[in-house]
Amino acid sequence: MTRTRPLVVGSVAFDLIFGIHGKIQDEILVEKDGKLGRQNLMFTAKSREHFFGGTGGNIAYGLGLLKQKPLLFSLAGQDFAGSGFLPHLKKAGVDSRVVVDEKGWTATFYGMSDELGQQIGVYQPNAYERVHTIPLSKTISPKDWRDIGVAIFSAGTGMSILRHMKEAREKCGKDTLIIFDPGQVISIFYDKVLLEKTLALADIFIGNEVEIKQLQTILGYDIEKVLEKGVRAVIETLGEKGSVIYEDGKTTRVKAVTVKKVVEVTGAGDAYRAGMIAKLLEGKNLKEACAFGAKIASLSVGSRGGQNYRV
């Protein structure tokens, strides 16, 4: 691959994580007929920690540690500059192209992690909700476009991802591998029309098992038809069960890396993506890239927060 730099388009956020006593699943009320009852949940926290995060920030952090010199495009608020976030990213090797909205606030993620590593979260986008109004070319130069080999578009809004993917495809043509990674917002922002328009611009779709099911539900057809319509590959991440690659009429399973102790799962999927992209830039095939992604994810779950592990 002659284009050697990755572009990461996604959120930067402050992560406020509560470590809670017990297991989330034990607090969920299930009736005798197996149906969920009315929920009124209460948890007690044993810890409260503040981290740098966001999907885009986490992926770029991992790529920076892997010496890939990632470009990070995002939209933050007035509290970004004085928070120490920027020097933290720079130290990790990230080339920040984050636009700052001086009237808004940086996105925030509030999460609860239990003893099994399960998590419940609330995401507050704040200024990032307006990211669709900012073109990538505001901070990505003509020279940058010529160097980008892989571009990943992670959780934003439906319109922001479509707009930014269109811009990247127009600037880079077919020489850049584009990864569509809508995350949990797929069920919030997408209908069939918007989803098909976005998929038409992508080479790879990646999501966890819930997001893959939501993809098929919204479209009304299965992964095989998604591939028939032009996406080269669909990657389904399954946590400790590994991941599955669907491409060229075949299914390839990739094992997870065994971890001695899961400390906290925030950002593990983003670390996986960082490892995968690094190997794709080196010319490895998808199976090799995903296997390396699993290794980086295993490092992430061994530390607290999405940007505290080391390679």
Structure confidence at residue 1 (pLDDT): 57
Residue 78, CA atoms < 13 Å, CB-side half-sphere = 3
- Token output for 223: 């992964």
Domain definitions of the chain by residue range:
5-13+53-300
Do the Cβ atoms of 5 and 68 come closer than 8 Å?
yes
Structure confidence at residue 40 (pLDDT): 84
Do the Cβ atoms of 293 and 275 come closer than 8 Å?
yes
Q: How far is Cα of residue 5 from the mean position of the Cα atoms in its chain?
A: 18
Rounded Cα distance, 35 and 29, in Å: 9
Structure confidence at residue 293 (pLDDT): 97
pTM (2 decimals)?
A: 0.92
What are the mean pLDDT values of the chain's consecutive 10-residue runs (311 residues total)?
A: 88 93 87 82 91 96 98 97 95 97 95 84 92 96 96 91 96 94 89 95 96 96 92 95 93 93 86 98 96 96 90 91
Number of residues that make up the chain = 311
Please name which of 123, 177, 118 lies closest in space to residue 151, comparing C-alpha atoms.
Answer: 177
DSSP state of 262: -
Rounded Cα distance, 156 and 111, in Å: 18
Structure confidence at residue 119 (pLDDT): 83
Give one DSSP letter per residue of 186-215, joined into a string: HHHH--HHHHHHHHTT-SEEEEEHHHHHHH
φ, ψ of residue 40 to 5 degrees: the values are -145, 80
The yes or no reply on domain 5-13+53-300 and CATH 3.40.1190.20 is yes
> What order do you get walking across the sheet with 148-153 strand by strand?
95-101, 71-77, 5-9, 148-153, 177-180, 204-208, 233-237, 243-247, 250-254
